Structure formats: structure tokens, C-alpha cells
Chains A and B, each alone.
Chain A
Amino acid sequence: MSMQTTVEQVDGAIPITVLALEGELDASNFQELIDTVRRLYDEGTRQLIIDLAGLRFMASSGLVALHSIVQIMHGEEPLDPEGGWGALHSIGGEQQTEVRLAGPQPAVERVLTRTGLDRMFVVHADRYVAIDAASAPA
């Protein structure tokens, strides 16, 4: 089980970073994904599209990663999911637009829907629709 990530920058009035995931997101690599996004945020990414088209499988630890990613993009430092207890502001119910999801396969979409994580994200049909939406002035 493994996952490859590809980062692509889309220039425009609002610069966008597209992070494409390929393979399987599970307990063995979700921490790496969080670290990747933390690095992107540190390097200046403020609009992130996660392209899920190549992701075949997402375990429940993937949900922890997605939740953490939203917090990073909000400028909050998530705690280490293995590290135990700590104070952190829950995102609440509101939908944010710093992170968008694109093109989930049915299996991944089912996990997002079943767990209600789809409430946190705008989910687009594919990365191009997502880029258009993210480029549009709010």
C-alpha cells in the first residue's frame, strides 16, 4: 500500500496549488500527507485543491488527515494525531473554501459522505472545475 503525491502550481490572480493523490491513503501514510500540506502552507500556498481522481482507497485515518489539512490551511497548527491530548479549535460546521476536493472515485466519495466529512468541503467533479471555482472572485 502506498500513495504518491504530485504538486502542481496554477498561476493566476489567485495562485492555486493542486495536490494530486494516487494510490491508497491509510494509517501508513496519512501523517506524510499532513506534513506535505504543512510544507506547502509554509511555502505560501493559500488555495489548495486536493485531486482525488487517482485515490483508490481512503481509510478512516484519511479523515484525520483531511481535518488536519483544513486546520493547517486556516493557519492553525494541528496536533500530532498520535500525540494525544491538546487544545485545538474544532472547525465547526461551516464550509471553508481554502481547501477543495476534486474528482473522488465512488469508494472515496462514499467514505466522505458516510462520515459527513463532505460537509467540510466543496467537492468538485474534477480538478479543472475546482480550479475554475477557486479562481472565481468570491
Chain B
Amino acid sequence: MTTEVAPELDLDAVVAPFRSLDPGLCLAIEGADGTPIASTSLAYPAGDAVTREILAGALVGGRIRVWGAASADGLGAAVAESLAAALAAAPVTNLAIAAQHAADARRLEVELAHGRRLQRSFVSLTPPDVPGYDIAAHYEAAREVGGDFFDLFRLRRRGSPLSVVIADVTGKGIAAALLMAFVRPLLHAAIDHTTGPSEALERTNRILVDERRSSLFITALAGRLDVRTGHLRLANAGHEPPLMIRADGSPPTWLEGAGPLVGAFNRLDVPEITIDLEPGDVALLYTDGITDASSPGGERFDEWRMLETIEAARGGSAQGLVTALADTVCAFQEPSPPVDDITIVAIRRLPAT
């Protein structure tokens, strides 16, 4: 961001409110053609030689550029943007207001960072220990807070079946994150108190439609695995279908069959799909952050790239598969940051020894 600087601008007055806010901010002066003339950090007093040089640069018609040096806690970018906007827009007399906006931006950044830490604590990356199975998960929020979640836990009943949930709150940002924080324990409790995943989704839907009304929906895939037999019961409410990767080397297949997404309709009527995990088989659950990921050129990652990645990584561990997919999607989007959350869960039945 650049801005014309009025000749009468008192740089010290400009930077003073910001310096107390974030000494990691930097100012640079560029000539009219964009060539850098000088730069300084707000950590130095504006009266020092470098800053005076900047001021002098501004006086001869250059531009001031502002950026936030990444501080230790990774914050500062919003403050820098706010300062740049203030320099671009506000007359010098409005700097107090500009500083207030920057302070608000900073506060929000800090709040979001807290929110992100709290949210990450909901999403345990350590899968439960299930003898005979190899389970791995990956979760990465696109923004400070995300709307994806997954949940893996053993049910307190005979045989301790493994419950798996993967879900995506449509919409982004704080609203999606709040709904995620609300729905995750709801779904967990519903799964613990119902006979199967379809009924759990139905019950969650009823609670959401009756008690909470908004334009945000949840796509959710819930499964219950009998760990002794490998029998897996699945119910899909508008989510990406799970991918079955068989140990026999046959092409991976998507398990189609879904009801509508949770929260949009009074009834779900989600069909139950069942499948048996044989030794060496993998059930892969994921969110649309994988398939919808786009390259800088505007191409989507799509199912075929997903299959290609999986073919190259199949036969290995669950973690190997998850990491390969996450890394390939990440590389596909570079240098842009991901626009959507990415969540992957792989459940692999260990080959008989």
C-alpha cells in the first residue's frame, strides 16, 4: 500500500500512536518511480536520522509504504494495513482516529488468535488408539478460525465401536467457527445416545432446525466401526462421499448415497451405507477443501488429482496417505494461501500378521 504524503506531514505525529501499538511496524519511503529511498522501523524514534531522511523523501514527492514486520506472535499485518489506509485516506488531523482503528484491528487479531488456539483444542489431532487399526488425521483452518471439524472416539458400549465424524460448516469465518463449536459436541452426544449414525444425524438436524435458525448449514459424514469385524456403518448428510481404498489394488471407489445437509430441512432421511473394511483397506474421509482447492491459474484440484495422489501413496501407512494428500493440495495452491479449511481422516485396518 502506498500513499502520497503531504509536505507538511509531521512523521513523528503520524507514527507516535502506532509505535506504542506495535514497534514491529516499518515505514519506507519510495521515489515516485517506486525505487526505495529509505526505511525505518517504528522501534526507532521518528526524530532519528533515518526517519528524517524518510521525511525528506516525502517532502520531495515520494511515497510512504508501510508494512508489518511479522512479530514473534505472528501478528501485525492488520495493524500495518490499517496504518497504510490511514496514511492514504486521513488528513493528518485524523490520525488519532486512524490509530484507534489500528488498535481495534490489533485487538481483533489478538482475539482471533485466541479463538484459533481454543478451536484447535477442540480438534484433537491425536486419534484414539484402536488395536488392529492405523488411524491418521489432518486439520488445517484456512483462516484464523475454521468451520471444518472431525471427531474420532470410542463409544461406551459393548465392543467399544469407533465413532468417526467429519463435517464442514458452510460459510466461513467466525460465524462458521461458532456454529462448529456448537455442533461438534451436539453431534458427539447424539452419536453416543443413538443406535447408529443415521439416527444421530437426524437428531442433530432436529435440534438445529428447531432451536437455531440461520443460513449456515453443516455437511456431515458420520460412521460407526465395529473394530472386531471391520463392519463400518456410514451416514452422509450432504458431505463429500468417503473414498474406499482396497488392499487388493483395485481402483479406489467413492461410497455414494447421501441425504441433505444438516440444518436446512425439517427431515433428513439419510440412508445408511455399510461396508466391510478388510485387512489393509483404507476408508478416507475428507472435506471439500481438498477437491475445491484451486491453483493460481484457477484450476480445481478435483477428484482426479486426488486419485492420482492416492495411487502414488497407497499401500503405506494412514499417516503417509494423509500427509501426501495434504502436501499435494498445499503445493497445488501455492503461492496463494488456502481459501478453505482442509480436513482428512484415514482409517486403515492393519493387514493380518
Q: Which residues of A contact B (CB under 8 A)?
A: 1, 26-28, 57, 59-61, 63-64, 67-68, 71, 78-79, 81-93, 114-117, 119-120
- What is the bound-complex CA distance between A34 and B61, given in angstroms? 44
Which residues of B lie under 8 Å from residue A92 when comparing CB positions? Answer: 265-266
Q: Which of A26, A61, A81, A116 contacts B175 (CB 8 A)?
A: A81
Q: Return the chain B residue nearest A86 by Cβ.
A: B214
- Determine which residue in B288, B292, B339 has the highest number of CB atoms from chain A within 10 A of its CB, and name it: B292
Q: Is the CB of A115 within 8 A of B292?
A: no
Residues of A contacting B241 in the complex (Cβ-Cβ under 8 angstroms) = 114
Q: Is the CB of A116 within 8 A of B265?
A: yes
- CB of B217 within 8 A of chain A? yes
Chain B hits for A28, CB < 8 A: 339
Enumerate chain A residues within 8 angstroms of B305, measured Cβ to Cβ.
none
- The answer to whether B219 touches A119, judged by C-beta atoms less than 8 angstroms apart, is no
Stretch at the interface among B69-77, B253-261, B312-320: B253-261
B residues at A contact (CB < 8 Å): 168, 170-175, 178, 209, 212-217, 219, 237-238, 241, 258-261, 263-268, 288, 292, 294, 298, 300, 339-340
| Bound: A84/B214 CA distance, A | 8
Instruction: Please state if B172 and A82 are interface contacts (CB–CB under 8 Å).
Output: yes
Q: Is the interface of A mostly helix, strand, loop or mixed?
A: loop
Beta-carbon contact of A63 and B217 below 8 Å: yes
The answer, among B213, B237, B268, B340, for a CB contact under 8 Å with A88, is B213
Say which residue of A1, A63, A91 sits within 8 Å of B294 (CB atoms): A1
Contacts of B294 in A (CB 8 A): 1
Given that A90-B266, A115-B261, A116-B238 are contacting pairs, would A64 and B298 also be in contact in the complex, using a CB cutoff of 8 Å?
A: no
> Which chain A positions have C-beta within 8 A of B171?
61, 64, 81-82
20 contacts between A and B (CB under 8 A): A1-B294, A26-B292, A27-B340, A60-B170, A61-B170, A61-B171, A61-B172, A63-B261, A63-B264, A64-B217, A79-B215, A81-B170, A81-B214, A82-B174, A85-B214, A89-B213, A93-B265, A93-B267, A115-B260, A116-B260
Residues of B within 8 A of A78 (CB): 215
Question: How many Å lie between the Cα of A92 and that of B213 in the bound state?
Answer: 11
Instruction: Give 14 new A-B contacts, CB below 8 A, not counting A27-B340, A119-B260.
Output: A1-B298, A57-B300, A63-B264, A64-B217, A82-B171, A82-B175, A84-B214, A85-B175, A86-B213, A86-B214, A92-B266, A114-B238, A114-B241, A114-B258
The docked-state distance in angstroms from the alpha carbon of A85 to that of B119 is 18
Q: Is the CB of B213 within 8 A of A83?
A: no
Q: How many angstroms between the C-alpha atoms of A1 and B241 in the bound complex? A: 25
Contact status B264-A117, CB under 8 Å? yes
Distance in angstroms between the alpha carbons of A60 and B209 in the assembled complex: 19
Q: Report yes or no: B214 in contact with A116, Cβ–Cβ below 8 A.
A: no
Q: Are A83 and B175 interface neighbours, CB within 8 A?
A: yes
Flag if A59 contacts B288 (CB, 8 Å). Answer: yes
Q: In the bound complex, do residue B174 and residue A67 qualify as a contact, i.e. CB atoms below 8 Å apart? A: no
Q: Are B174 and A60 in contact (CB under 8 A)?
A: no
State in angstroms the CA–CA spacing of A79 and B215 once bound together: 7
What residues of chain B lie closer than 8 Å to A91, measured between beta carbons?
A: 264-265
